[in-house]
Amino acid sequence: MNNLLNNVLNHINEGIVILDTNLEIYAWNRYMEVITGISRTTAKNNNIATILPAFNKNYFKKSMNDVINSGCKMFFSAAMHRNLLDSKEYFNLKISSLESENTKFLLLEFTNVTNQFVQIKRLKEYVSELSTVNKKLKEKEKVIKKLAYYDELTGVANRTLFYELAHRFMDNAKRNNSILGLMFIDVDDFKNINDTYGHEVGDKVLIQVADILKKATRKNDVVARHGGDEFLILLPFIQNSSNYKIIATRIINTKNSIIDNEGNKINISLSMGISFYPTDGNDIDKLIAKADKAMYIAKGRRGRDNYCCSACICP
């Protein structure tokens, strides 16, 4: 091989090996010396499997013979063939055939793709980090959403969520000419409970009341804390105004739960007022005002622990 060809091979930034048909090394460029630590003098005229033991495998021998016989090309990726060279770096291998003066040769080209693997690894790590960050953001979003729309103490809807849902149900009722009910619930004698047993017990009472209301209502009803010891319940999709009695009676019958505070039994008593769209108003605030008045009638005339609708037609 002439000096010009040697110079060309030695200036190529790839590992170049040329084999004869016996798979003996005919050329071994400088880049191969660098990446393998094997000199050209040591490599030349030796079988490729002797110099690079990984090529002793049958499928490499068969592949190289197929290239010699058919003239096809073979490609071996660093991802699947990590140990082609005794190196910490990654190399793709392309095997193709050469012919000079009716003599066949094999050309082996080792291309360093370590940077690509490093970039891929970094990309995978970056994607993994993004996934973790995204998961944490979603978890924080849930927490923020809960804080924004749910009462921290009782876990029921807060005023913000209540009004959002109330406007939707009101719009639906207007479109379908249907009835929307609203219940205003107040815990009887709650100030006295706080003053006598302390705010910690008062909080337990509010949590218990919220649980009572959730258990007594239907799936589509909305239980919300209006503030202090006041709660609201939206009753969408009711067939007629008298349907509220079912829910109100259920609350009365299930609210006999007690809070046991160091042996002191505290009975929970609730007063409820009920109003309806469209008879009591065409917006949520009017319904709340009417239900609030009805609640005070239940608390006053009926001696608490009772309910009354806005028209004061009490059971």
pLDDT digits (tens, 9 = 90+) for 231-262: 999 999 888 877 888 898 889 887 665 666 66
Task: Band the pLDDT of 2: cuts 50, 70, 90.
Answer: low
Of 151, 188, 229, 280, the catalytic one is 229
Do residues 21 and 76 both lie within one domain? yes
For the chain, the domain total comes to 3
> Which residue range is the domain that position 144 belongs to?
120-149
Do residues 165 and 303 both lie within one domain? yes
Peptide bond into 236 cis (omega under 30): no
Do residues 135 and 189 both lie within one domain? no
Is the confidence at residue 89, as pLDDT, over 90? no
Which pLDDT belongs to residue 245? Answer: 87
* Percent residues over pLDDT 90 in the chain: 38
Spatial distance between the Cα atoms of 220 and 167, rounded to a whole number of angstroms: 15
Do the bridges between strand 307-309 and strand 270-277 make them parallel or antiparallel, or are there none, so unpaired? parallel
Summarize the confidence of residues 256-285 as an average pLDDT.
83
CB atoms within 10 A of CB 61: 14
Which pLDDT belongs to residue 119? Answer: 77
Q: Indicate the Cα dihedral angle 195, 198, 203, 285, nearest 10°.
A: 20
Which pLDDT belongs to residue 235? Answer: 94
- Residue 1, token pair as written in the block: 């091989």
Do residues 104 and 187 both lie within one domain? no
CB 158 within 8 A of CB 224: yes
Summarize the confidence of residues 258-269 as an average pLDDT.
74
pLDDT digits (tens, 9 = 90+) for 40-67: 999 999 999 899 988 888 888 888 888 8
Annotated catalytic, 229?
yes
Spatial distance between the Cα atoms of 277 and 182, rounded to a whole number of angstroms: 8
CB atoms within 10 A of CB 2: 7
In the three-class reduction of DSSP (H, G, I as helix; E, B as strand; rest coil), residue 25 is classed as strand
Do residues 40 and 131 both lie within one domain? no
In the three-class reduction of DSSP (H, G, I as helix; E, B as strand; rest coil), residue 180 is classed as strand
Do residues 102 and 169 both lie within one domain? no
The H or E element spanning position 49 is: helix 48-51
Is the confidence at residue 4, as pLDDT, over 70? no
First to last CA, the chain: 113
Number of helices (H) and strands (E), helices first, in the chain?
Answer: 11, 12
**Residue 102 maps to a domain:** yes
- Residue 275, token pair as written in the block: 């109003």
* Residues contacting 161, CB < 8 A, separation 6+: 149, 150, 222, 224
Summarize the confidence of residues 214-225 as an average pLDDT.
93
Beta bridge partners of 300: none
Do residues 134 and 43 both lie within one domain? no
Do the bridges between strand 74-76 and strand 264-267 make them parallel or antiparallel, or are there none, so unpaired? unpaired
Do residues 103 and 25 both lie within one domain? yes
Do residues 178 and 271 both lie within one domain? yes
Q: Of 141, 89, 131, 125, nearest to 110 (Cα)?
A: 89
pLDDT digits (tens, 9 = 90+) for 137-150: 777 666 666 668 89
pLDDT digits (tens, 9 = 90+) for 150-199: 998 999 999 999 999 999 999 999 999 999 999 999 999 899 888 888 88
The H or E element spanning position 175 is: helix 159-176
- State pTM to two decimals: 0.57
What letter would DSSP give residue 75?
E
Q: Of 29, 26, 106, nearest to 64 (Cα)?
A: 106
